[in-house]
Structure 1
Amino acid sequence: MDKTALRNALLALERHELQAAREAYADYLAGSKPDRADTEDDQDHSLAVEDAELAQGLEGPLQAAQDAMARLQAIDFAPRTTVAPGAVLELGGQRFVVAVATQQFKVGAQTYMGISTESPLYRAAYGKAAGDTVEFAGRPHRIDRID
């Protein structure tokens, strides 16, 4: 398994998420600047308050994307024998990368999904080794492999 390629794929996914969040935030801010030539009335003030609340709503995804990128860059993707950050675990033919939560992605012919250390799967599997069984989603699952 080429964990360098895996790390690079995760970084590319997170860069895309971060860029999309930055663009959404910038687009919103650019479209919400008031025309200061007009005098402000109560309705303008109300709209400004709504705009501020919406901007805060867009800051959340931007901050989450920035945090995910920082966490991902700090993870050591060295080979693992137990489930920990940077590990790839295989359960029932599905491969999960302990790093940040992502959609499914491919590296070579393999499909992976990123999971965070906050995920229920990670919490159930933390410290376990290949061959161990974990209880997840109400069922036992055998860890087939860890890289």
Structure 2
Amino acid sequence: MNLYNAEGYIDLTAYEALSRIEREERKAKKAGSYRPVVYICSPYSQGCINDNIENARRYSRFAVDRHYIPIAPHLLFPQFMDDTLGEDRQTAMFMDLVLLTKCSQLWVFGDMRSKGMQQEIRWAKRRHMTIRYFTEELEEK
């Protein structure tokens, strides 16, 4: 935890807020109730969309069963955005990357990598995030 901001000035507000979050996280870990947030990375529009949605649900359940909190934006954003519209697609990818920064790990499922998945993987690598790869049968590679 750093007391100084990016410009080198003391930032007590940010320091206290981040310190409080860390204390709560440590407390939750000790109590056994801590669940890290993971980003579910799997295809959406390549191939059969209905199959891809069912797979993303299955992958999310897999994460829950292992005591993680899954974030699968491709299950949420298509409810109110159109992936075939350029502006919606760009906005959704931007929001995907914002959500990815809130996660502790990226979980990649299957062998096929869509352009969106490739972008998410590159982003996670740049942020030095833990990336785990799984088969469609939910076995870690």
The TM tier, using the shorter chain, reads under 0.3
Tell me which structure has the larger Cα radius of gyration. 1
User: Structure 1 or 2: larger helix share?
Assistant: 2
TM-score, normalized by length of structure 1?
0.27
TM-score, normalized by length of structure 2?
0.28
User: Structure 1 or 2: larger strand share?
Assistant: 1
